[in-house]
Structure 1
Amino acid sequence: MTAMLRRRSDRGSTTLETVILWPAVFLLIFGIVHAGLWFHARNVALSAAREGARAASLDDGSGGAARAADLLAATTDGTVMRVGDIREFSDADTVTVTVTGSSTTLIPGWRVDVSQSATAPIRRWSSP
């Protein structure tokens, strides 16, 4: 008799566990994928900023923003990140290139910003 009561009280527990467990599992999976997309967009922005700073350091501190934009256009077609702005700042000895934009997201309407900077010394060539 006790076994019969126990079976009846356990009815629906599997369905309840599924209703509670699966949304948490899906949230975890989507969170991991979203973090990967953000990390990849961050690395793309950093690579573009470094390449722009390197190019500008060889060209007396100018042209870095254009080189970063060229690299972004060649490597991504807007699926990894949407580029918002590429800025270049140089002083007497260094050049800094900053790439800002937003990462692709899985949730429509949600914006995750990405901003990366790179600084390089300006190389000046002199004849002996």
Structure 2
Amino acid sequence: MPGRRPRLPGAADQRGLSSSTQLALVLPLLMLLTLGVVEAGLWLHARNVAQRAATAAVDVARGSYGTAGDGEARARDLAAGAGLTDVSVHVDRGPQQVTARVSAHATLLLDLGLGTVEETASGPRERVSVP
């Protein structure tokens, strides 16, 4: 090729320097993105577990022979068994409706204040009636 100069042996390749610089900038960003995806997955899992615990508490407490204490115990066992810590459960068993609120702390790799999850579930109270 007419406009190209021959490369001398031992001459530094400028493309290698810019490539390594790009890698040094992009690699931490990719690692941060991966950490963000893992954190989001852990947080969503904790929310799903808390929601399922609240639903289970309502299911137990709304039955004819269920109590608020039974619902709270079920929710606490379910949440603690799935890895949540500092689990707090409150079940309100009113005359028409049962409501459960579960608050817990999720175990995250990098807790930025999003570790506390709180979910609520409610349902109608079942009553035995004579036909």
Q: Report the TM range for the smaller structure's normalisation.
A: 0.7 to 0.9
- The verdict on how the C-alpha distance between 1:84 and 1:60 changes in structure 2, with shifts beyond 3 A counting, is closer
Kindly indicate whether residue 31 of structure 2 is the aligned counterpart of residue 29 of structure 1: no
Normalized per residue, the structure richer in helix is: 1
Q: For structure 2, which runs of at least 5 residues remain unmatched after alignment? A: none
SS class of match (1:125): coil
TM-score (structure 1 length as normaliser): 0.80
Kindly indicate whether residue 85 of structure 2 is the aligned counterpart of residue 82 of structure 1: yes
Match of 1:95 among 93, 98, 104: 98
Kindly indicate whether residue 125 of structure 2 is the aligned counterpart of residue 122 of structure 1: yes
Q: What residue number does 2:68 align with?
A: 62
Q: Which has the greater radius of gyration? A: 2
Q: What residue number does 1:110 align with?
A: 112
Kept after mapping to 2: 8 A contact 1:82/1:102: yes
**In structure 2, distance between residues paired with 1:60 and 1:67:** 11
Please, what is the CA RMSD of the aligned residues?
Answer: 2.3
User: How many Å apart are 1:10 and its aligned residue?
Assistant: 3.9
**In structure 1, distance between residues paired with 2:84 and 2:18:** 44
Q: For structure 1, which runs of at least 5 residues remain unmatched after alignment? A: none
**In structure 2, distance between residues paired with 1:31 and 1:54:** 34
Match of 2:47 among 42, 46, 61: 42
Alignment: residue pair count: 121
Kept after mapping to 2: 8 A contact 1:37/1:105: yes
| Identical aligned residues as a percent | 31
TM-score (structure 2 length as normaliser): 0.78
- Higher mean displacement: 97-106 or 57-66: 57-66
